[in-house]
Chains A and B, each alone.
Chain A
Amino acid sequence: MEVHGEIWTLKELFVYPNEYIYWSIQIVMYPFMTGLVAGAFVLSSLYHVFGIKELKDMAKFALVFSFALLFAAPMPIVLHLQYPFRGINVFLTPHFTSAIAAFGVVFFAYGAIVASEIWFFYRKHFVEVALPLKEKRDKTLLEWIRFIIFHTLTLGAYDISEESLKKDEKAIKILAGIGIPVACFLHGYAGFIFGSVKANALWMTPLMPVIFIMSAVVSGIALCMLTYIVVMEIRKVRLRSRRRPWMVSIEEVKGVEISVIRMTAKYLLVFMIFAITLELLDLIFRGYTAVKHWDILRTVIYGRDFTQIFILQYTFGNLLPFILFLLPRLSIRRAITGLLLVLMGVFMMRWNVVIGGQAFSLTLSGYMDYILPIVPHNWETFKEGIGGALGILIMPFVLFWIFSKIFPVFSSEESH
């Protein structure tokens, strides 16, 4: 018999008997996924609230993608819990002195905001699909299903007059406006979960929520850009194979793609600067004040985790993509490389916080190494191993594919 966590923990020097790496890969995935949600939403709001016209295409897409990501965000926690079905207790008896208890409230509030924003945004489309089907006499089974789905989605509101659409737009703007602070709160409190653990020398800093928000926006924008590129590439391939005169030309798609990417990249850079500044501030401050636990933190940061922190996170995840985006004449290929690096960098940041925070013992004189389970040999090593993590990563894309069947995320008549 083994205790939870023992299988992937290697202890070194003096560690308390009950200490293990209890928070494993899924707790790395959790802030990574919520970060993507918040980031995608902030990106979409840049257009809706601040009226940055160039981001229109991206904003439409980012909103739906944020919704898809939202469903994936709580999944890592569910996979992490020893009793996943008791997860509902968080909503039944929320204990509000706990940062996690706020999850239920914030998550549902945020979900409701995104859902209603999407509804207002695509309401016209729902009606346009449902109305002809409603009037059609003998519907086929497929048409019935389609009708039921879209009829439900309209929520019975069939009024798409100019006036009511204006009201919709206003509603979207308000919702996006409320959404930004809520999205930041959703992720800020994820940072608070760590930042407020006074027992952990690496985690406890009031900067944690802010650092988390900034890197969240970075990762969210990066993933949206990357997915946008992938979808545009697929569109180009499709256009090539089924060329029709009334369709948009490949050159047009290409032009739109690169201009959207260049525009969004600028916002990515801004948020990257904020994120890196805060992270470095945190590091310098710890070194400068050098309180009791700095001795062991230093050995972890500059020694044992040097590769993860300074090579993977800062050099490959921050510096290199920063240069790639700053160089003039950004190409799609260069953008893809940069974006993948940015995402890796943010993931490594989460890793270095969650796993790095458990790399040293509460005794401040021992270490723990985390061995990520790759080949699972039971349910636990699967769900808290690389398999579970990949499952979580794939989930939002599958959901997005399903959502894109309902919401015309890339309708050609609207985009240029």
Chain B
Amino acid sequence: MNQSRREFLKTGFKTILATGFSIGVFETLRPEVLAALKKEEGLRWAFVVDTTKCIGCGMCVKACKLENEIPYDVNVTRTWVERYVMTKDGRIYADSPKGARDGFIKNDPMGVTVKKEDIDKGFFVPKLCNQCENPPCVQVCPVGATYQTADGIVLVDRTWCIGCGYCIMACPYGVRFFHPVYRVAEKCNFCYHRIKKDMKPACVDACSFGARLIGNIRDPWDSVSRIIKTERTAVLKEEFGTKPHVFYLGLDSIVR
């Protein structure tokens, strides 16, 4: 074969480009990828937290840690409960020791004993991933290891996450952390493995007071969907434009 170096390089480059392109097309146009692109009509998970019902027992946190194998004694958790106490002098005490895993059993908000007669109001606020419609964590992941499913849940691919922590930084709600064992980004996913099998998330099942509810926001007859539509709910940190899908009943302006 009589070929100059220039020609050889030219043909080589063209071949690589052509192969790369066709492999790329086959890879991107896989049926499951296309299916994911097309948002499902039927199902969009949403959560309702009724803060007026929460008593701060922490059973939800305990159940979550056990269900999702988050090492029990490590100071991270997929869901947690915050305690807010506002005194008559306008002081706000807020805390969540160990994510309220052991419940709030002592009168010690931020390590201070507050006299009963000094308190104006006090309440508990459970927190979990908001499964945003416009999730900043998904936006910033450099490798696409975290993604949104068609039913609205944001998941993390543990085999692909590089552990840069950009998603942790991008989440305005602080729900993400590095899994102590797998060392990749970790977050609440409404117990995706359970809800896919028509079960309730571990925290919902663990709550004896009905403070946590999950349902399909697109189904007009769904009880959660009814609450969101008919009652006065609020979402956390709306100003970030993330469109959270955890709706709160009885949310107060002092909640962070």
Of residues 138 through 172 on chain B, the ones whose CB sits less than 8 Å from some CB of chain A are 138-145, 160-166, 168-172
Q: Are B74 and A81 in contact (CB under 8 A)?
A: no
Of residues 234 through 249 on chain B, the ones whose CB sits less than 8 Å from some CB of chain A are 240-241
Of residues 344 through 391 on chain A, the ones whose CB sits less than 8 Å from some CB of chain B are 361-365
Q: Which residues of A contact B173 (CB under 8 A)?
A: 16, 362
Which residue from A13, A16, A156, A197 sits with its C-beta under 8 Å from B169?
A197
Q: Which residues of B contact A14 (CB under 8 A)?
A: 94-96, 110, 256
How far apart are the CA atoms of A67 and B77 in the complex, in Å?
A: 44
Q: Are B140 and A97 in contact (CB under 8 A)?
A: yes
Of residues 72 through 93 on chain A, the ones whose CB sits less than 8 Å from some CB of chain B are 77, 80-83, 86-87, 89-90, 92-93
Q: Are B256 and A364 in contact (CB under 8 A)?
A: yes
Q: Does A142 contact B (CB under 8 A)?
A: no
Interchain nearest-CB distance for A254 vs B (Å)? 48
Q: Are A22 and B142 in contact (CB under 8 A)?
A: no
How far apart are the CA atoms of A16 and B75 in the complex, in Å?
A: 11
Known: A81-B162, A86-B163. A363 touches B140 (CB 8 A): no
Q: Are B240 and A6 in contact (CB under 8 A)?
A: no
Of residues 218 through 234 on chain B, the ones whose CB sits less than 8 Å from some CB of chain A are none
- Interface size on B, as a range, is 35 or more
Q: Are B75 and A6 in contact (CB under 8 A)?
A: yes
Q: Which residues of B contact A4 (CB under 8 A)?
A: 178, 180, 183
Q: Does B200 contact A (CB under 8 A)?
A: no
Which residue from A18, A20, A199 sits with its C-beta under 8 Å from B136?
A199
- Interface size on A, as a range, is 35 or more
Q: Are A89 and B145 in contact (CB under 8 A)?
A: yes
Q: Does B59 contact A (CB under 8 A)?
A: no
Interchain nearest-CB distance for B117 vs A (Å)? 24
Interface string of B89-131 (1 = CB under 8 A from A): 0001011101100000000001000000000000000010000
Which residue from A13, A17, A97, A99 sits with its C-beta under 8 Å from B99?
A17
Interface string of B169-213 (1 = CB under 8 A from A): 111111111101101100000000000000000000000000000
Interchain nearest-CB distance for A156 vs B (Å)? 8
- Chain B's closest residue to A16 (CB) is B174
Q: Are A93 and B143 in contact (CB under 8 A)?
A: yes
Interface string of B34-65 (1 = CB under 8 A from A): 00000000000000000000000000000000
Interface of B is mostly: loop
Q: Are B180 and A81 in contact (CB under 8 A)?
A: no
Q: Are A198 and B172 in contact (CB under 8 A)?
A: yes
Interchain nearest-CB distance for B170 vs A (Å)? 6
Q: Are A22 and B165 in contact (CB under 8 A)?
A: yes
Of residues 11 through 27 on chain A, the ones whose CB sits less than 8 Å from some CB of chain B are 13-14, 16-20, 22-23
Q: Are B140 and A99 in contact (CB under 8 A)?
A: yes
Q: Are B163 and A3 in contact (CB under 8 A)?
A: no
Q: Does A163 contact B (CB under 8 A)?
A: no
Interchain nearest-CB distance for B140 vs A (Å)? 5
Q: Does A326 contact B (CB under 8 A)?
A: no
Q: Which residues of A contact B184 (CB under 8 A)?
A: 82-83
Q: Does A98 contact B (CB under 8 A)?
A: yes
Q: Does B69 contact A (CB under 8 A)?
A: no
Q: Does A324 contact B (CB under 8 A)?
A: no
Q: Which residues of A contact B12 (CB under 8 A)?
A: none
Q: Does A103 contact B (CB under 8 A)?
A: yes
Q: Which residues of B contact A408 (CB under 8 A)?
A: none
Q: Does A101 contact B (CB under 8 A)?
A: yes
Q: Are B169 and A17 in contact (CB under 8 A)?
A: no
Q: Are A101 and B168 in contact (CB under 8 A)?
A: no
Q: Are A86 and B160 in contact (CB under 8 A)?
A: yes
Q: Which residues of B contact A80 (CB under 8 A)?
A: 164-165
Q: Are B178 and A17 in contact (CB under 8 A)?
A: no
Q: Does A94 contact B (CB under 8 A)?
A: yes
Q: Which residues of A contact B165 (CB under 8 A)?
A: 22-23, 80, 82
Interchain nearest-CB distance for A343 vs B (Å)? 26
Q: Which residues of B contact A156 (CB under 8 A)?
A: 5
Looking at B110, B160, B166, the one whose CB has the most chain A CB atoms below 10 A away is B166
Q: Which residues of B contact A20 (CB under 8 A)?
A: 177
Q: Does A5 contact B (CB under 8 A)?
A: yes
Q: Does B7 contact A (CB under 8 A)?
A: no
Q: Does B73 contact A (CB under 8 A)?
A: yes
Q: Which residues of B contact A199 (CB under 8 A)?
A: 136, 169-172, 240
How far apart are the CA atoms of A81 and B76 in the complex, in Å?
A: 19
Q: Which residues of A contact B139 (CB under 8 A)?
A: 97-98
Q: Which residues of B contact A365 (CB under 8 A)?
A: 92, 94, 256
- Chain A's closest residue to B99 (CB) is A17
Q: Which residues of A contact B96 (CB under 8 A)?
A: 14, 16-17
Interchain nearest-CB distance for B162 vs A (Å)? 4
- Chain A's closest residue to B175 (CB) is A18
Q: Are B71 and A1 in contact (CB under 8 A)?
A: yes
- Chain B's closest residue to A380 (CB) is B183
**9 interchain residue pairs of minimum CB distance:** A82-B163, A16-B174, A100-B142, A95-B144, A199-B172, A363-B256, A18-B177, A17-B99, A4-B178
Q: What are 5 A-B interface contacts by the 8 Å CB criterion?
A: A1-B71, A22-B165, A22-B178, A86-B163, A199-B171
Given contacts A23-B165, A199-B169, 5 further A-B contacts (CB under 8 A): A3-B180, A83-B184, A89-B142, A89-B143, A364-B256
